[in-house]
Amino acid sequence: MLFSNKNILILCLFLLLLNGVFAYDFGKIKVNHNDGSKTYDFNIDKVENYTYNLNFEHYGNIGSGMKVNIYINGNLVYTIDDSKDGSGRYKKKVSIDITNYLNNGSNTLKVEGVNLVADPSRDYYPYYALNKVHINEPFTLRVPVSLTQVIIYIITTVYIGMQYLKSIKS
Among 131, 135, 134, 124, smallest CA distance to 32 is for 124
Question: Looking at 61-70, 110-119, 140-149, which range is the least confident one?
Answer: 140-149
Among 74, 85, 78, smallest CA distance to 110 is for 74
pLDDT of residue 19: 43
- Local structure of 98: helix, strand or coil: coil
pLDDT of residue 140: 40
Side-chain-side CA neighbours of 21 within 13 Å: the count stands at 21
Among 134, 108, 162, 149, smallest CA distance to 25 is for 134
Residue 19: how many CB atoms within 10 A of its CB?
Answer: 12
Are 16 and 145 in contact by the 8 Å Cβ rule? The answer is yes
pLDDT-derived band at 9, boundaries 50, 70, 90: low
What's the mean pLDDT when you consider all of the chain? 81
Mean pLDDT across 18-32 = 74
Question: Looking at 12-26, 39-53, 56-70, 151-165, which range is the least confident one?
Answer: 12-26
Mean pLDDT across 47-72 = 90
Q: All domains of the chain, ordered by start, with CATH?
A: 1-20+145-170 (no CATH), 22-141 (2.60.120.260)
